[in-house]
Each structure stands twice: as C-alpha cells, then as structure tokens.
Amino acid sequence: MTLQEKYKKEVIPQMKQKFKHKNDFSMPKIEKVVVNVGIGSTVVSKDEKAQESIAKDITLITGQQPLVTLAKKAIAAFKIREGMPLGLKVTLRKKRMYDFLFRLINVVLPRTRDFRGLNSKSVDKNGNLNIGVKEHLIFPEISQDDIRRIFGLEITIVVRAENREEALELYKLMGFPIK
C-alpha cells in the first residue's frame, strides 16, 4: 500500500472521528515537500565539480532536477556577491512527494545513526515539519564509492492544517516516528 492510499483509506477516517470533521477536504493534508541544500562553501572556494556532484546527488535522491537559489544581496564579510549561487532546492508534489516520504519514513530515518525518533518540537505552529539530515549518505540511492563531498540537507514538509495538534496527529498516523 502506498502512502497516498494509506492517507485516503486509513488516516482520513481516523482524523474525521477524532477531530469531528464533516468533510474530507477539511482534513489536514501534506501539500508539498521542500528539500534544500546550502552550497555556499563550494561557491566561495570556486569548486565547480563539487557543485555539479551535489546537484547530481540531489537529483538522485529526489528524482527531480534542483533549482539554483541565488544571493539576494552582497555580504562582504562572507565573500558573497549579489547573484551568486548559494543553494539548491527541490519542491516535490503529488506522486513524487509521496514516494519520497515513503522512502524517508521506511528506509532513510531508520538508517540514521543513533536515531530515536523525530522531536515533536520540530513541528512549528502551522504544522510544518522540519528535518535536518547531517549526511546525505543515509539515502540508499547514493553510492559510497563515487561521492565527492558529504553534505547535509534540510527537508521541510508543508501541511495544510488548522493547528499544530492536527498536524502532529497526521504525522503519527502517516507513520512518522515522532517521539
């Protein structure tokens, strides 16, 4: 059973019963997943191959080409000029989003060293969940042999929910290991 089928068949009825919603469309729902990587250190050192390898690894992890984010203003202390590439981001929606979340919940998070569950404090007041990954090597798509640089990434799961409690319940019913 895919994560999307689980949401429709199991999560929606349980959430309806618990929060007394009358309509399926008023239920909390995951809208998108944003994967973000900062590449500022490779830009300052002018390492073009490292930037390309990071973009290639993000493409392997998400199944989608990343968008290059540029600096909005120049900051002399950090040797950053306006328009310099500072990061890569990927926004996942619909099928790719559910496939990525399934792999994240069932494969990636259990492979994390000393993992005891996600902290409930990482869910903000709007219900969005932020997960920081220190090493991208925990993703099974990345082969240990041809890595050029180890980098961390940030995963933000954006939810449409009325409050934080509904979003937390959604995450727990979807299978996120929240302690």
User: How many beta carbons lie within 10 A of that of residue 117, not counting itself?
Assistant: 10
Does 163 reside within a domain? yes
Domain CATH for 80: 3.30.1440.10
Whether 97 and 33 have beta carbons less than 8 Å apart is answered as yes
Structural domain containing residue 93: 3-174
Q: What is the pTM of this model?
A: 0.81
Cβ-Cβ contacts under 8 Å for 113 (sequence gap 6 or more)? none
In a domain, 169, yes or no: yes
Domain assignment present for 179: no
Domain assignment present for residue 148? The answer is yes
Whether the pLDDT of residue 103 is over 60: the answer is yes
Task: Please state the domain count of the chain.
Answer: 1
- Provide the percentage of residues in the chain whose pLDDT is more than 70: 94
Give the model's confidence band at 67: pLDDT under 50 very low, under 70 low, under 90 confident, else very high: confident
